[in-house]
C-alpha cells in the first residue's frame, strides 16, 4: 500500500490547514478533543482527523510531528478513528512549563483509557509508527525516526475489517497552535510476528 495524500479525507475540517504531498499543517480550533466517558465522565468528539482507508491487514504508517503547543492539553499525533466510540490516538499532550504527557488512548465500545509517561516540556517534535496485524495494533515513538520504542499494543474490537487511520491535532481548552506533519510513509508491517511463548492449544 503506497502513501497517497489524495486518498486522505477529513472528518471535521479545522478552520485553518494546509495539505501537500510533503507536509500537512493544522492550526487547532479551541475546545476540540477526543475522549469518551471514562473517569472524567464527559464525552468529547469534535477534533479534526485526516485519514485514509484500507482493508490491508499488515502495514505500518510513519509520520513526524512538529508543534508549538504551549497550553494545557494541546496535542497532535496519529489516530485511527473508526467512529465516535471506537478509535485510538497517540500524541504528546502539553501540561505546563515543566512537563508533558507522551501517551496513547484506546477507546473500545465507548470507553477510553489513557497510558502516559512524563517527558520534558521543551520537546517539540516526535515521530510515530502505527502498525497493524489483523485486529491488533502497535504504536511506537521515536525522537529521530530511526530507533522506535513501543508505547502500546492493543486489540480493537471493531478493527478487523476496513479501517481508517492518519493524523489529528486538537486543543481541548481555549487555545490554538500549529501542528506540522511530515515524512509520511506507509510500509510493510514493521511490527514483527511474536516469536516467544506459543499460543495455548484450543
| Residue 28 belongs to domain with CATH number | 2.60.120.200
Q: How many domains does the chain have?
A: 1
For 34, 116, 134, 151, 194, the CA distances from 85, given in Å and listed in that order, are 10, 21, 20, 21, 29
20, 8 Cβ separation under 8 angstroms:
no
Q: Is residue 10 part of a domain?
A: yes
pLDDT at 199 over 80: no
Predicted local confidence at residue 194, as pLDDT: 86
Once rounded to an integer, what is the mean pLDDT over residues 97-103? 98
Assess if residue 115 is contained within a domain.
yes
Give backbone dihedrals phi and psi of 89, rounded to 5 degrees, phi first. Answer: -145, 155
pLDDT recorded at residue 28:
98
Binned at pLDDT 50, 70 and 90, residue 37 comes out as very high
pLDDT for res 202: 57
Mean pLDDT of the chain: 96
Stated pTM of the model = 0.95
Output the pLDDT for position 41: 82
pLDDT in tens, 128-159: 999 999 999 999 999 999 999 999 999 999 99
* Nearest Cα to Cα of residue 91 among 16, 23, 168, 32: 168
If we measure between CA atoms, which residue out of 14, 88, 90, 1 comes closest to residue 52?
1
**Which residue range forms the structural domain that includes residue 144?**
5-187
Identify whether 194 is part of a domain. no
Cα gap 138→157, rounded to integer Å = 14
- The reply to whether 198 falls in a domain is no
Look at residue 197 and tell me whether its pLDDT is greater than 90: no
Q: With respect to residue 78, please indicate whether it lies within any of the assigned structural domains.
A: yes
Amino acid at each position: 500500500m503506497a502513501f497517497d495524500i489524495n486518498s486522505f479525507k477529513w472528518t471535521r475540517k479545522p478552520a485553518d490547514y494546509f495539505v501537500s504531498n510533503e507536509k500537512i499543517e493544522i492550526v487547532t480550533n479551541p475546545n476540540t478533543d477526543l475522549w469518551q466517558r471514562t473517569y472524567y465522565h464527559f464525552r468529547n468528539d469534535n477534533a479534526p482527523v485526516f485519514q485514509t482507508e484500507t482493508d490491508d491487514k499488515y502495514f505500518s504508517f510513519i509520520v513526524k510531528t512538529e508543534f508549538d503547543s504551549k497550553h494545557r492539553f494541546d496535542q497532535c499525533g496519529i489516530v485511527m478513528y473508526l467512529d465516535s466510540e471506537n478509535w485510538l490516538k497517540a500524541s504528546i499532550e502539553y501540561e505546563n512549563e515543566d512537563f508533558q504527557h507522551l501517551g496513547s488512548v484506546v477507546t473500545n465500545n465507548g470507553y477510553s483509557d489513557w497510558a502516559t509517561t512524563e517527558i520534558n516540556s521543551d520537546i517539540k517534535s516526535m515521530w510515530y509508527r502505527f502498525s497493524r496485524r489483523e485486529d491488533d495494533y502497535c504504536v511506537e515513538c521515536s525522537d529521530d525516526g530511526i530507533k522506535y520504542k513501543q508505547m502500546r499494543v492493543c486489540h480493537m474490537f471493531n478493527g478487523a475489517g476496513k479501517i481508517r487511520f492518519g493524523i489529528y491535532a486538537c486543543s481541548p481548552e481555549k487555545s490554538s497552535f500549529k501542528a506540522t506533519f511530515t515524512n509520511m510513509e506507509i510500509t510493510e508491517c514493521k511490527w514483527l510476528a511474536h516469536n516467544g511463548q506459543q499460543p495455548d492449544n484450543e
